[in-house]
Amino acid sequence: MSFGIVSLVTALLFLTEQTIATSLVPIAYLIPVIIAATRWGIWPATLAAIVSMVEADFFFFPPIYSFRVEDPQEAIDLLLFLVVALVSGNLASRLRQETETLRQRERDIHNLYDFLRRLAACFTVPDLISAIENYLSRTLGRPAVFFAARNGGLFEPPKFGAAPQAVMERVTSGAAPMGISGEAVTDRSTRNVWLLRTARSETAILGLVAVNIGTGSSDVLAAMTRRVETILEDVSLTLQRIDIGKAIEDARLRLQSQLLRDAFQGTMSHELRTPLATIRGSASVLESMPLIRGDDRARSLVEAVSDEVAELDGFIQTLLNATRVTAGGICPHLEWADPKDIVNAAIKARARRLATHKIDIEFSEDLPLIRVDVGLIEEACGQLLENAAKYSHSGSNISVRMGRKQDNVIVSICDQGVGITPDELPHLGEKLFRSQRHQATIPGSGLGFWIASIFVEANGGHIDISSEGRGMGATATITLPCSSTTPSDGHNR
Amino acid sequence: MSRPANIVLLIEDEPKIRRFLRAGFELQGYTVIEAENGSDGLKSATFNAPDLIILDLNLPDLHGSEVLERIRSWSNVPVIILSIVTNEDEKVRLLQAGADDYVVKPFGMAELLARSEAALRRYFKSATESPVVVAGPLSIDLATRMVTLNKQPIRLTRKEYQLLHILATHIGLVVTHDQLVKDIWSGDRRDNIQYLRILVRKLRQKIETDPNHPRLLVTESGVGYRLQAPAEDMASD
């Protein structure tokens, strides 16, 4: 190509030989040299300079059509031309290189800017991952793979791109994959180097970026590392922003459910209980009136009213408890208590609903004090007692036993009722679970046992249910820790 | 129970609840006056000099605890709180602020009457009256410190007697953990509640027929203890 331009200039000069002075010839030859330098770089420019000198000598310096130079002055001219051509060619090609670098940099900045704009629009982690994928695959211009982090300190297989065996091995196996950062892995088959970098915020690891930086020199490696690190820094900032955003959103939701809970616990319980208080109170006054006392029929009616009110009140209490649990608001208020007091209170509070059964109570003598939230445990015992009464025939026995087993206080409530079949057993702890068998025959909300388990667990204990099967009765067992090292600040087991 | 007609003041905003309270108290021979909000209640408490005040916590103008505080600033008249809240801390606060007892809605009239009579008894106990407190088979002579169960004298340790003495002077009324701990151990260290629980167990071993199912010395969950005559227990069930 350089050769072509030089020849073209030679032809033009040859045609116009008569009109221009020989002294201008070297200057004209500088044109192709500079063109070659700016277009194609230093080596074509050097070639153009040498060819120009040779052709000028051949065509224009006497003796014409010979490479010989007779005049020493002209020889010096030609050499001088060569030096000037080489120097200016070099300068021009360097200028070209600089321009090229600037353009590349501008492109990089533009890409980075695009990437930042995408990051600004990220509000979730999947958004962020897709932005990284986009940047790596389109912009970086090198094969790249992104491994998303998974719970348990491992990375998921890549969603896009393919990584060679060596990279996969390093990422999916091996010790502490989360610790990988700034490693370079060489793919043995292609000798390509893959750079590994983790994308993380201060608190969490998002994933791992693997970029193929080819077989390049340490310069290329350093440059690529810089670019990858730049974007990962921005990713980390965005991740933090998303974390904060999520925390704010969570707090907002918590506040909402808190408000809902407060509304229910305050307003609803007030609105529901005030009429109940009137009914219960009025019925109790009626019960005490000589007129009613003397009339068996009237008395039994009034008693029915009182019983139903007690039932309704229990149901409202269950709903209130469920709201407490659902809103995540159980923080046990621990104090030392006598477990006998708790069980006695639970039985007394539900005396009306247990009146149809024979309650047989047995406490062992070695019961220690326990540190629990008395209200929660009493409520849990009450729920289990109520279930025992509900799922067994009236007139049957409910036995309540309490004893000590190693460092635990065990309360067991055993009925002679409908029992639990093996396929019902695993569902018992679920909220709103009610067995098909009883849906139509025994009223209930499916909340009682669920609430009881959560209340007991909040105190560091647990409930077990066992049954020999259908019609064989069931036993609910509450286990509560009684050592003084039991939970001091809440619901850890 | 022989006594002149006691005047009871009902401070309660729900007319239907006032209606059955009036019926219930009048059946027992009380004279009833009503107030439907806190400021009327305070006025009535000043001018009508009631023997007993039944105070609802949830009033349209003032909170019940504020009414209680104002009454307590000039009078020791027995006050029983009606509340819909079953929060133990709130109960303890009210008792410490000077309430004589509380009843949680919904409640039966018998329970409220039992509390009312206990509060009146404590308030009107004259110096000339016999210093013997009787709770079922148990009798406590506050003057001679003699305790008998089914007419048989029983021996109590100093702390057991102190506990029984405090509960006996409040017979029928709840006494908070804090007050018991403060009076028995002369310090208000909160962790002493363990010792209180153990002391109660020991005392129950000596005075209850079945210590596992106490009828006399009963627990008020999260609040305190109450010494009661078994007849009241039956009535409130």
Measure B109 CA to nearest chain A CA, in Å.
5
Residues of B in contact with A333 (CB under 8 A): 88-89, 222
**CB of B153 closer than 8 Å to CB of B146:** yes
Residue identified by tokens 């980390």 is: A236
Q: Which of A156-170, A393-407, B36-50, B139-153 has the lowest mean pLDDT?
A: A156-170
Cα(A475)–Cα(A425) distance, integer angstroms:
12
**CB of A50 closer than 8 Å to CB of A81:** no
Q: Are B198 and A369 in contact (CB < 8 Å)?
A: yes
Looking at residue A342, its pLDDT comes to: 92
Q: Which of A242-251, A269-278, A280-289, B225-234 has the highest mean pLDDT?
A: A280-289
Residues of B in contact with A288 (CB under 8 A): 24, 27, 109-110
A404 beta partners: A409
A328 beta partners: none
Q: Are B84 and A337 in contact (CB < 8 Å)?
A: no
Task: Give which of A282, A321, A324, A366 to mutate to test B binding, by max B Cβ within 10 Å.
Answer: A282
Task: Give which of A278, A293, A321 to mutate to test B binding, by max B Cβ within 10 Å.
Answer: A278
Exposure string of A357-385, with b = 16+ CB inside 10 Å and e = fewer, is bebebebeeebebbbbbbbbbbbbbbbbb
Measure A471 CA to nearest chain B CA, in Å.
31
How many alpha carbons lie under 13 Å from residue A493 in its C-beta half-sphere? Answer: 8
Contacts of A27 (CB under 8 A, 6+ apart): none
Token pair listed for A364 = 């062992």
pLDDT at A50 over 70: yes
Model confidence at A237, in pLDDT bands (50, 70, 90)? confident
Model confidence at B157, in pLDDT bands (50, 70, 90)? very high
Query: Which domains, from first to last, does chain B contain?
Result: 7-124 (3.40.50.2300), 132-236 (1.10.10.10)
Q: Are A274 and B84 in contact (CB < 8 Å)?
A: yes
Looking at residue A216, its pLDDT comes to: 66
Q: What would the mean pLDDT of B76-82 be, rounded to a whole number?
A: 93
A264 or A455, which is more confident?
A455
Task: Give which of B109, B115, B216 to mutate to test A binding, by max A Cβ within 10 Å.
Answer: B109
Q: What would the mean pLDDT of B1-16 be, rounded to a whole number?
A: 82
Query: Which of A273, A309, A338 is nearest residue B197 as measured by Cβ atoms?
Result: A338
Looking at residue A108, its pLDDT comes to: 81
Q: What would the mean pLDDT of B130-154 be, rounded to a whole number?
A: 89
CATH class in words for A331-481: alpha beta
**CB of A270 closer than 8 Å to CB of A152:** no
Q: What share of chain B is helix, strand, coil (3-state, %, to 5)?
A: 45, 20, 35
For chain A, the structural domain boundaries read 2-111, 122-253, 254-322, 331-481
Exposure string of B79-114, with b = 16+ CB inside 10 Å and e = fewer, is bbbbbbbbebebbbebbeeebbbbbbbbbbbbbbbb
pLDDT digits (tens, 9 = 90+) for A267-276: 777 788 888 8
A-chain residue closest to B106, CA distance? A277
Residue B114 amino acid letter = A
Query: Which of A269, A369, A375 is nearest residue B197 as measured by Cβ atoms?
Result: A369
Q: How far is CA A183 from CA A197, A211, A227, in A?
A: 7, 11, 15
How many alpha carbons lie under 13 Å from residue A426 in its C-beta half-sphere? Answer: 2
Query: Residue B222 burial by CB count (10 A; 0-12/13-18/19+): exposed, middle or buried?
Result: buried
Strands B7-11, B52-56: pairing kind:
parallel
Cα(A478)–Cα(A419) distance, integer angstroms:
18
Mean pLDDT over each residue of chain A, to the nearest integer: 80
Q: Which of A160-169, B23-32, B50-59, B60-69 has the lowest mean pLDDT?
A: A160-169
How would you classify residue B150: left for phi > 0, otherwise alpha for psi between -120 and 50, otherwise beta? left
Q: How many beta-carbon contacts under 8 Å exist across A and B?
A: 98
Output the CATH code of domain A122-253: 3.30.450
Looking at residue B4, its pLDDT comes to: 64
- Interchain CB contact of B166 with A (< 8 Å): no
pLDDT digits (tens, 9 = 90+) for B83-122: 887 678 888 999 999 999 999 888 999 999 999 999 998 8
What percentage of chain A carries pLDDT values higher than 70?
A: 86
Cα(A163)–Cα(A144) distance, integer angstroms:
8
Cα(A69)–Cα(A59) distance, integer angstroms:
11
Q: What would the mean pLDDT of A15-33 be, rounded to a whole number?
A: 75
Looking at residue B232, its pLDDT comes to: 46
Question: Looking at this predicted complex, what is its ipTM?
Answer: 0.83
Prior bond of A63 cis (ω within 30°): yes
Token pair listed for B185 = 């151990």
Query: Which of B109, B193, B219 is nearest residue A281 as measured by Cβ atoms?
Result: B109
Q: What would the mean pLDDT of A375-390 be, rounded to a whole number?
A: 90
Give the torsion through C-alpha atoms of B165, B167, B171, B176, to 10 deg. Answer: 150
Looking at residue A425, its pLDDT comes to: 76
pLDDT at A203 over 80: no
- Interchain CB contact of B107 with A (< 8 Å): yes
Q: Which of A103-117, A247-261, B87-101, B200-214 has the lowest mean pLDDT?
A: A247-261
Looking at residue A177, its pLDDT comes to: 52
Which DSSP string corresponds to B1-32? Answer: ---S--EEEEE-S-HHHHHHHHHHHHHTT-EE
- Interchain CB contact of B29 with A (< 8 Å): no
pLDDT digits (tens, 9 = 90+) for A390-421: 888 888 999 999 999 888 999 999 998 888 88
pLDDT at A225 over 90: no
Cα(B31)–Cα(B205) distance, integer angstroms:
42
Mean pLDDT over each residue of chain B, to the nearest integer: 87
**Dihedral of CA A142/A148/A154/A157: which sign?**
negative
Residues of B in contact with A281 (CB under 8 A): 17, 20-21, 24, 106-109
Residues of B in contact with A344 (CB under 8 A): 212-214, 219
Looking at residue B79, its pLDDT comes to: 95
DSSP character at residue A418: S
Taking the mean position of all CA atoms in its chain, how far away is CA B63? 21
Q: What would the mean pLDDT of B216-223 be, rounded to a whole number?
A: 89
B-chain residue closest to A484, CA distance? B194
3-state secondary structure A224-251: HHHHHHHHHHHHHHHHHHHHHHHHHHHH
- Interchain CB contact of B201 with A (< 8 Å): yes
Task: Give which of B17, B21, B84, B193 to mutate to test A binding, by max A Cβ within 10 Å.
Answer: B84
Taking the mean position of all CA atoms in its chain, how far away is CA A209? 17
Model confidence at B80, in pLDDT bands (50, 70, 90)? very high
